[in-house]
Amino acid sequence: MVWLMPIPALLAALWSRWLPGARWVTVLAALLGFALALVGAHDILHGQNLPTPQSWIGLDALGAVFALLTAFLGVTASLYSGPYIAHHLAHVTDPRAGLRRYYVYFNLFLASLLAVPLMQQPALAWVTVELTTLFSIFLVGFDGSKPALEAAWKYAVITIMGATVAALGFFLLLWGLQRAGGGPQTFAALVQASPLMNPLLRKVAFALILFGFGSKIGLVPIHTWLPDAHSQAPTPVCALLSGIEVSLILYVVMRLLPVFIGIPGLHLEHWLSVIGLVSVGVAAFLLLQVHDYKRLFAYSTVEHMGILMTALGWARSPRIR
């Protein structure tokens, strides 16, 4: 049943496009998604319906944590969206058109977010991550003002370039999997086959994925789009961007990290720790320079992603273990 998690939000997007009552349909869809995430987490706790190494879609323990967080934030954001967007559009010429547009993109964004933890296949994970970016670009530019459109374009250009770079890294890993004997193109199969892959190929793939997805996570120095995009997005969307979207992208990176362990000369823990600490330091300094609460959210996101990257690096350090 866990694969159904994104479906209510998709149906709500269709409803919002043509039928009235989008506000409460969106809340209901978010609640259904949360209920399905709870069912999935319950199954995980009892060892039921676990994905096999051949599964392309499924929910494991790590995915269940992120699915629950995503679904919960989806509920809170959908509840706040009603009064927020009604007030925001109170003085426009055609508020109904704005409401339809907002709820269509909001539900598509939420559906793509809920799909990310379900993907056990790297290519599908990349696709769902890019869908979150695509739909959130429309939400960042929802206002139609010059600052909002500039932020949306900046967000689109930097993150789509990053996605292209990350896609090359994914391609190298899947090609290396075939060279190492083939098998199902899943995260589990990549981890199992990684000792048989060419070390140089894994190094290049690591660099491409870290740089590509690092631009989407908001790691310093490729974080410059994030404060602008988050500050221009509607507040409920800002909460989803800061609260879960970047975390889900880091989740995909975490699924791939075991593939890069043990590569001679890579020093994985050093790269993660240094990038994380630099991001924490720069974000902490910039937090002192701003007063807009959305920008505070944005720089706090950069800082927290830095903390998580540092923790991942230290977790791999033999000195700490």
Mean pLDDT over the full length of the chain: 88
State yes or no: cis peptide before 195, omega within 30 of 0: no
Tokens of 244: 């879960």
Asked whether 55 and 125 are in contact (CB, 8 A), the reply is: no
At 56 the pLDDT is 80
pTM of the model as a whole: 0.92
Distance CA 17, CA 295 (A): 31
At 318 the pLDDT is 44
Residue ranges, the chain, pLDDT below 50: 318-321
Helix-strand-coil split of the chain, %, nearest 5: 80, 0, 20
Asked whether 249 and 217 are in contact (CB, 8 A), the reply is: yes
Q: Which residue in 171, 57, 119, 120 sits closest to 179, CA to CA?
A: 171
Quick: pLDDT tens for 72-115: 999 999 999 999 998 888 777 777 888 889 999 999 999 999 99
Instruction: Detail the DSSP E strand segments found in the chain.
Output: none
Q: Alpha helix (H) ranges present in 19-60?
A: 22-45
Q: How big is the chain by its Cα radius of gyration, in Å?
A: 20
At 46 the pLDDT is 81
Distance CA 278, CA 143 (A): 33
At 108 the pLDDT is 95
